[in-house]
């Protein structure tokens, strides 16, 4: 039976490529994006290649929107096997912690952390019902406490918090065949990563997609880069 996979922030970049690789692995993909036009155009690109993809408009900071999405998934598929929390923003490049506006911190956390956690809260009960789930939370080595430095303060803190959410929820669902992990995709040539980044979008999507298909005895509550566990 084909896996049902949902990816947030997927109208471009790594999110779109994750959708592509999941669909090529025979998953039925629900591509979500905040911008309806861009999201539908992204789905057209996938379906033009013969891939199975459906669009749903989603703002991860809107809890009613998330509830409506959950209802849509339940009515259309009655389950969700894979959740990829890719949606994220970077608003404080080149800004120091001493100077970052608190509004920037709040906006970053609303999307990168609270939106991600809301998605987990919405869909983990559905995964529990079917005793199967794989959740991949996009993080970054910029959030590693092991090597924390200055700069990018709200982005760094948000990714540290993402890792905390991963560990908390992974522990809470232990034994239920729901595996939850964080991933660092690397420095990827996307709108966020910029043209000087060292790896392609295809390379950046490989480890997240690998985590989507972990076996039942696979790792959970861990942080991965290039299919290897890394420090928090």
Catalytic residue positions?
A: 155
Distance CA 73, CA 4 (A): 9
Give CA 144 to chain center in angstroms: 17
Distance CA 226, CA 211 (A): 11
- Three-state DSSP state, 134: strand
For residues 122-146, one letter each, b for 16 or more C-beta atoms within 10 angstroms of the residue's C-beta and e for the rest, the string is bbbebbeeeebbbbbbbbbbbbbee
Rg (CA), the chain: 17
Among 22, 215, 36, smallest CA distance to 134 is for: 215
The torsion angles phi and psi of 34, rounded to 5 degrees, stand at -70, -35
Report in angstroms the alpha-carbon separations of 68 from 54, 74, 101, 124, 232: 15, 10, 33, 15, 34
Long-range contacts, stretch 44-51, CB < 8 angstroms, 24+ apart: 45/16, 46/19, 46/20, 49/20, 51/20, 51/23, 51/24
First to last CA, the chain: 35
């Amino acid at each position: 039976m084909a896996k049902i996979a949902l990816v947030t922030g997927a109208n471009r970049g790594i999110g779109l490529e994750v959708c592509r690789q999941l669909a090529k692995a025979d998953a039925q993909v629900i591509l979500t994006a905040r911008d309806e036009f861009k999201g539908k155009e992204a789905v057209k690109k996938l379906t033009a290649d013969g891939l199975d993809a459906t669009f749903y408009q989603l703002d991860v900071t809107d809890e009613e929107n998330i509830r409506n999405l959950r209802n849509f998934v339940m009515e259309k598929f009655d389950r969700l096997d894979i959740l990829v929390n890719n949606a994220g923003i970077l608003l404080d490049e080149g800004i120091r912690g001493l100077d970052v506006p608190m509004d920037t911190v709040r906006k970053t956390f609303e999307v990168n952390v609270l939106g991600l956690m809301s998605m987990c809260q919405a869909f983990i009960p559905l995964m529990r019902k079917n005793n199967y789930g794989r959740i991949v939370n996009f993080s970054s080595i910029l959030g590693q406490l092991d090597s924390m430095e200055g700069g990018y303060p709200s982005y760094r803190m948000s990714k540290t918090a993402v890792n905390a959410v991963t560990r908390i929820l992974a522990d809470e669902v232990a034994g239920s065949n729901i595996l939850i992990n964080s991933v660092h995709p690397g420095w990827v040539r996307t709108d966020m990563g910029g043209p000087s980044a060292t790896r392609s979008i295809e390379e950046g999507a490989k480890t997240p997609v690998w985590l989507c298909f972990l076996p039942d005895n696979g790792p959970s509550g861990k942080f991965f880069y290039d299919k290897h566990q890394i420090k928090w």
